[in-house]
Amino acid sequence: MHHSDIDRLRQDLRNVVDDLEHIVRTAAHATSDEAIELKEQAGEQLHEIRLRLAEMERDAAARIRDAAHRAQGYVQQHPLAAIGGAAAMAFLLGMLVRSRR
């Protein structure tokens, strides 16, 4: 996920929260037509956010699949290095766990 995507999502979420706060403030004084319009606006924005989140999810899944494919290729080409790296990581994790006790 790109940093700009995260910033855009944060801004969109802030906008939705601001709009929902506006709806709550004006709902007590709104006529039924105004309330329906406010509800529709909030629903549209929530729908847009859901679409954007789904798009970002698909993008992240594609990146993960690509990274897994590249890792698999590396392991197939360099099996001993992969085993050595895994052993080193296991050793370091064991040391970290042991030092916390």
pLDDT in tens, 68-88: 999 999 999 999 999 999 999
pTM of the model: 0.55
> What's the average model confidence in pLDDT over 23-49?
75
Q: Residues 35, 27: contact at Cβ < 8 Å?
A: yes
The tokens of 15 are what?
Answer: 């906008």
CA distances from 12 to 21, 51, 63, 66 (A): 14, 12, 23, 28
Domain count, the chain: 1
What residues make up the domain containing 23?
A: 3-100
Distance CA 72, CA 77 (A): 9
